[in-house]
Amino acid sequence: MKNFNSLCFFMFLSGAWLLSACQKKEKEKTQTPDLISSYLDTTVAPGNDFFQYANGTWLKKHPIPASESNWSIGKEVQNEIYARLRRISETASFSEGNPGSNEQKIGDFYHSGLDTVTIENQGITPLKPELDRIAALKSNAEIPTVVARLQTIGVNALIGPFVEQDAKNSEQMALYLYQSGLGLPNRDYYFNKDNRTQNIRREYGKHLTKMFTLLGQNEGTAKKNSERVLRLETALAKASRKLEDLRDPYANYHKMAVTEVNKLTPGIDWQNWLSQMQVQKLDSIIVGQPEFYRTVGQLLKTTPLPDWQAYLQWQLVHAFAEQLPKAFDDEHFRFYGNVMQGRKLQRARWKRVLDEEENAMGEVLGKLFVADYFSPATKKRYETMVDNVVAAFREHIQQLDWMTPPTKEKALAKLNKITKKVGYPNKWKDFSDLKIDRSSYVQNVMRANEWWYRYHLNKLGKPVDRNEWSMTPQTYNAYYNPSNNEIVLPAAIFAIPGIRDEDSDDAIIYGYAGASTIGHELTHGFDDQGSQFDAQGNLKNWWAPKDQTLFKKKVNEIVKQFNDYVVLDSLHVNGKATAGENIADLGGIVIALDAFKKTEQYKKDEKIGGLTPIQRYFLGYALGWQGHQRDERLAQQILTDVHSPAKLRVNGPMSDVPEFYQAFNVKPGQKLYRPDSLRVKIW
C-alpha cells in the first residue's frame, strides 16, 4: 500500500550550476504553471538530499497547520476532496431526500454530526444500554457475551475477529482471529524505556483517569480503574507480537478446527462465543497469534471481574469519544492528537464528520464524486499507463540475471494474471438497509458499524467477490491485495493539487503515478510478503530454492540499508518491518522509469522549466512524497508503521538507481552516493 496516513496515507541535488553539467543544451519547452520547478530548493545539492532539493520551497511555503500532525501533498488533495464532499453533504442536508434514499442518509448523517446541541443534551445516554450490560456482569464467564456485543458495534475489545480470504485457499472466505484490544498503538508502547515513550505511558494513565471521571466516577474510583486498565492491557501487550513479526504470512497463519481453539483457551466455549458474535456453522478459524489467545483464555480466568468491567467501559467510551459531548472529544484529542502526534488544535468539525461519513458509507459519496470529478479521458490515461508499467515490469523479469527460467516463468504468469482496477468500481455497494436518521450521531455511527460487521460476516460460506473494492474512489491511497492478486488505484490517487491532469506532462505523471503508485503496487506482488503468494492468490511457494535464497539475500540488503537510517535523536528505521514498502518503492521507480523511456517526451528530450524529462521524472516521484510532519508523529510512525518516513522513501531508493546519479551528476562524497557494490537491485 502506498499509504499517506494513515492509510497508507511525505518525503525526499547540487544547485542549478551543477545541473547544467549533465543537461543537454536543447531548446526548452515551457509550461504554465510548472509546479515541479517552482518547488525546487536549489541551495541544496541533489546528491546530498534529493527530497529537500525537490520539495524545499514547497515545504517553506506550507507550514504544518496547528490542527494537523503533518502536512503533505496528500493533505492538499484531501482538502480539495473535502470541499467537494462538503458541497455534496450540505446540499443533501438542506434537501428533503426520499426516506431511505442515499441523499437522505448523507444529509441526515452530516446533520447529526454537526448538531452539537443535541449531542451535548444527550450526554452519554446513547451508550447507556452498553454501559448497563457491563455493569450487570456477575462473573467472568459472562464477559465473552458482552465482548461479542461490543464487537458488532465497532468496539475492538480483547479480540480481533475479521473476515478475509483464506490465505491458502483464495476461493474461500475465512474467519481470522488476530491480536487486538490495546488502547496504545502497539505492544512497544507498554515496554519501551526511552523518555519519549515513558512520558506517553504517564499521559495515558492520566487520560484513562479523565475519561472515567467524565463517565461520572469520582477521582479515586477513576484512578483505580485507570490502573486496572493499564495492568490488563500490559498483559495483553506482553502476549502480542512485534510489528515486524506480524509481516510473516506463514508464522501468522494457524488454521484450526473450532474444537482446537477450545483446547488453546481452556474454559472458553468458542462455538458459543462465535454464536453470540452472530457467526453460525463455522468449522474452522485461522488464528494469527495463538500465544495471544492462550493469554486471553488465562486472563479471563484469573483477572478480577472489576478489572474487566473497567477495561470494557474504557474500550466503549474510547471507541465513540469523538461522537460524544465536547468534554469527551476534547480529552480524546488531548491525548491522541496532542500528546501522541503533536497537534495543537482540533481539526474543523465538518471535516471530522466527513471522515466518519466516509467510514460509514464512503461508496455512496464516491458514486457522486466520480460522476463530477473523474472524467472518462482521465480514466483512460491511467489505464493505459498501468498497461505500460506492467509491460515494463514484464521486461524486467525477463532480463533478471539472478532468477532461473522456471521461476521467471511463474513470476511472469503471476504478473500477467494481476487484475488492474482503476478509478472506481463497476458495481457499487448497496446501503439500502442501513438506517440513518437525525436522532443521534453516536447511534448513526454504531448502526453503520453494525452494517459493516454484518456485511463482512455474510461473506462466510459464499463465493469470493473479486470485483469488490476495499477503498473508495475519493481515497488518496492505493493497495495490492495478494489473495486477489490485484492492484486497486482509486481516482483520487492520481490528483495533483493546483494543476489539471491534462496539463501534466508525462514525465511528472510517470514519476508521480507510474512509479510511486502503479509500479509500487505492482511490486508489492513481488516484495518479501507478496512474493509468497502465487498467481491464484494462495500462500504457496512457487520459487526454486536457489532463486529464493538469492531473493532473500537481496531483501536483507535493503533491510540493512534502511536499518542504518536514523531519524530524530536516536530512532532507527525498522528495516525488517518496512522491507515490503522499501522494495515496492525501489521497484516502482526503476520499472516505471523504463515505461517512461518509451514515451515521446523522453525520446524528444526537451526541457520544461529548465529540467530534462528524466529529471522531471525523478522530481515527479519526489512530488508524491512532498510533505513534513511533527516529531511526535514521526516517532509514532517509526514504532507503528510499515512505511519508512517519506524523506527516506525518496532519498533511500534514489541512492540505488544508476539513472538518478546520471540525471543529477551525483558524485562520491555526496551524502546519497553509494558505491555500485552497495546499491540494491531487486526487480
Q: What's the pLDDT score for residue 549?
A: 97
Closest CA to 74 of 628, 647, 632: 628
Residue 545 preceded by cis peptide, ω within 30: no
Topology (CATH level 3) of domain 141-323: Neutral endopeptidase; domain 2 (1.10.1380)
Nearest to 634 by CA among 394, 217, 405, 341: 341
Angle CA(499)–CA(500)–CA(504) in degrees, nearest 5?
80
Is residue 19 very low, low, confident or very high in pLDDT (cuts 50, 70, 90)? very low
The answer to whether the CB of 513 falls within 8 A of the CB of 494 is yes
163 three-state secondary structure: strand
Query: What pLDDT score was predicted for residue 17?
Result: 23
How sure is the predictor about 498, in pLDDT bands with cuts at 50, 70 and 90? confident
- pLDDT by residue (tens digit) across 227-274? 999 999 999 999 999 999 999 999 999 999 999 999 999 999 999 999
Q: Beta 419-423 vs 486-490: how paired, if at all?
A: parallel
Q: How far is CA 566 from CA 627, 634, 647, 677, in A?
A: 18, 12, 12, 22
Question: Which is more confident, 376 or 217?
Answer: 217
For the chain, the 3-state helix, strand and coil shares in percent, each to the nearest 5, are 55, 10, 35
Dist. CA 85–CA 89, nearest whole Å: 6
Query: Is 208 exposed, middle or buried (CB count within 10 Å of its CB: 0-12, 13-18, 19+)?
Result: buried
CB 462 within 8 A of CB 394: no
Residue ranges of domains in the chain:
16-75+362-425+469-678, 141-323
CB atoms within 10 A of CB 2: 28
Is it the case that residue 33 has pLDDT exceeding 80?
no
Residue 637: name the closest of 234, 186, 131 by CA. Answer: 186
Q: Output the pLDDT for position 374.
A: 87
Q: Which amino acid is at 186?
A: N
- Report yes or no: 301 and 482 within 8 Å, Cβ to Cβ: no
**Residue 404 Cα to chain centre, angstroms:** 34
CATH number of 16-75+362-425+469-678: 3.40.390.10
Stated as kind and residue range, the H or E segment containing 546 is: helix 545-563
Mean pLDDT, rounded, of the chain: 94
Confidence of residue 1 (pLDDT cuts 50, 70, 90): low
Rounded-to-integer distance, Cα 404 and Cα 392, Å: 19
Between 17 and 683, whose confidence is greater? 683
Q: How far from each other are the two terminal CA atoms of the chain, in whole angstroms?
A: 18
- Residue 3 clears pLDDT 70, i.e. is over it: no
Given a contact cutoff of 8 angstroms between Cβ atoms, the answer to whether 182 and 283 are in contact is: no
How does pLDDT run across 451-479, given as a tens digit for each residue?
999 999 999 999 999 999 999 999 999 99
Cell of 446: 454504531
What's the pTM value of the predicted model, to 2 decimals?
0.93
pLDDT tens-digit readout, 644-671: 999 999 999 999 999 999 999 999 999 9
- For the segment 355-371, the average pLDDT, to the nearest whole number, is 94
- 3-class secondary structure per residue, 95-133: CCCCCCCHHHHHHHHHHHHHCHHHHHHHCCHHHHHHHHH
What average pLDDT does the segment 315-323 reach? 98
- Asked if residue 610 lies in contact with residue 28, where contact means CB atoms within 8 angstroms, the answer is yes
Q: Which residue has 522456471 as its cell numbers?
A: 406
